[in-house]
Amino acid sequence: MSSKTARGQAEEDWLLPVDPSLYRRTCARFTTGITVVTVLDQNGHPHGMTVNSFSSVSLEPPLVLVSIDLRNAIMGHFISSSWFAINILAEHQECLSRTFSSPSENRFVGVDWYPGPSGTPLLEGVLAHLECSVVQKFEAGDHTVLIGEVRRAGFREGKPLVYFNSSYRSLAE
């Protein structure tokens, strides 16, 4: 095959949609931290879910984003609330990640937490937390993106819980 023909084939392949399985396996090669994003419902009950699609957006003002699957059972609580918190898990908190990624409605049973100034649940012992007021919400594909302005933040020393190639990992020294 000539180089021109091979290049033409590559250009045609570029236009084909990416298979969802390939996309998922490819993105798994990016190491992410693990967070639990929390919110209070209209009755003051805590809700939360494990999220690794979290990112800093801006320094001035301090903005972050989280991306939440539209099919998530507690999505409505995030849509109706004007506050949410991001709890960045420490390396020893894999159990918390698994608890908050379960389909259970009672994810907070047995979990130590306290309300931040806005009332949003902050988990005990996390590496860091950010309490955010919602400034924008929009749908992107099969997710809703929440952009929040960080109103309060805190951290402690330690190592994060990380996720790579579909497995929890620890950072080496």
Q: What's the pLDDT band for 171 if we cut at 50, 70, 90?
A: confident
- Predicted pLDDT of residue 41: 93
Q: Are 131 and 117 in contact, with CB atoms under 8 Å apart? A: yes
Average pLDDT over residues 104-118: 92
Residue 98 has pLDDT above 60, yes or no: yes
Q: Whole-prediction pTM value?
A: 0.86
What domains sit in the chain, N to C, each tagged with a CATH number?
30-163 (2.30.110.10)
Q: What's the pLDDT band for 96 if we cut at 50, 70, 90?
A: very high
- How many whole angstroms separate alpha carbon 159 and alpha carbon 30? 18
- Predicted pLDDT of residue 5: 59
Percent with pLDDT over 70 in the chain: 91
- How many whole angstroms separate alpha carbon 87 and alpha carbon 100? 11
**Greater pLDDT, 29 or 57:** 57
Q: Which tokens hold the place of 133?
A: 């007021």
- How many whole angstroms separate alpha carbon 151 and alpha carbon 172? 32
Encode pLDDT of 6-55 as tens digits: 565 556 666 678 888 888 888 777 778 899 999 999 999 999 999 988 99
Give every CB contact of residue 138 below 8 A, 6+ residues apart in sequence: 144, 145
